[in-house]
Amino acid sequence: MSDTDKEIIKHILDGDVRSFGILVDKHKAKAMTLAMRILKNREDAEEALQDAFVRVYRALSSFEWKSSFSTWLYRIVYNTCISAAGKREKKGHFSVELDDENEYINEIESPDIQPDIDLESKEISKIIYEEVDKLPDVYGSTFTLFTIQDMSYEEIVQVTGLPLGTVKARLFRARLMLREALIKRMDLAVVKEKEGY
């Protein structure tokens, strides 16, 4: 059984610096997913994430448990990435790197799934992630927090600092855009199949 965030943080504050590695390992995959969603470039995302974890370490003693640790952490990651994106835009860097392997997105696989169904499921997941990547940043980051980070509306409000109505509107718009994009891709696939491509 793994330690809770509270127990790990107590160890860190008691001087066990190695426990910070445990805390980082516990949260880095989801934090990286958020960083990639905002920055769209692995190198920039890794740099921003490293920056965010340094900030977390320095501020850990001031964390008051008014929210969950993960909400507090993701707010720091979100703000660090938004800041990095702003600096990058000022410098004129707009590089985009797609993560074909989606190694930071956790997939639950059942051993009972038949190979052809499993392959189809993976293909659909790949298409969904490609379309999420194409969402404008203002919608994509909110959608990522909600679906991949599994955050509530209130937690997203805490992380982003946006009003609740804005969060709900962005999620609604993101779902609508994603649905439209998926319908187009599926329609195109059916047309190609019928035409023998």
Q: What is the CATH number of the domain that holds 45?
A: 1.10.1740.10
Residue 84 scores a pLDDT above 90: no
- What confidence tens digit (pLDDT) does each residue in 87-137 have? 766 554 433 333 333 333 333 333 343 444 444 556 667 777 788 888 888
Q: Chain-wide mean pLDDT for the chain? A: 78
3-state DSSP helix/strand/coil % of the chain, to nearest 5: 75, 0, 25
Q: What is the mean pLDDT of residues 9-34?
A: 91
Q: How large a percentage of the chain has pLDDT more than 70?
A: 74
d(CA 84, CA 31): 15
Instruction: Quickly state the pLDDT bin for 183 (edges 50, 70, 90).
Output: confident
The answer to whether position 100 is within a domain reads: no
Of 95, 129, 158, the domain-final residue: 95
Contact by Cβ (8 Å): 34, 145: yes
Query: Both 87 and 162 in a single domain?
Result: no
pLDDT of residue 85: 83
d(CA 52, CA 32): 11
Q: Element (H or E) spanning 49, and its range?
A: helix 42-59
Query: Both 70 and 142 in a single domain?
Result: no
- Single pTM value for the model: 0.63
The answer to whether position 194 is within a domain reads: yes
Residue 23 scores a pLDDT above 90: yes
Q: Between the CA of residue 41 and those of 53, 84, 88, 103, what are the distances in Å?
A: 18, 11, 11, 14
Residue 29 CA, chain-centre distance (Å), reads: 8
pLDDT of residue 46: 92
pLDDT of residue 2: 54
pLDDT of residue 105: 34
Residue 26 scores a pLDDT above 80: yes
Query: Both 86 and 123 in a single domain?
Result: no
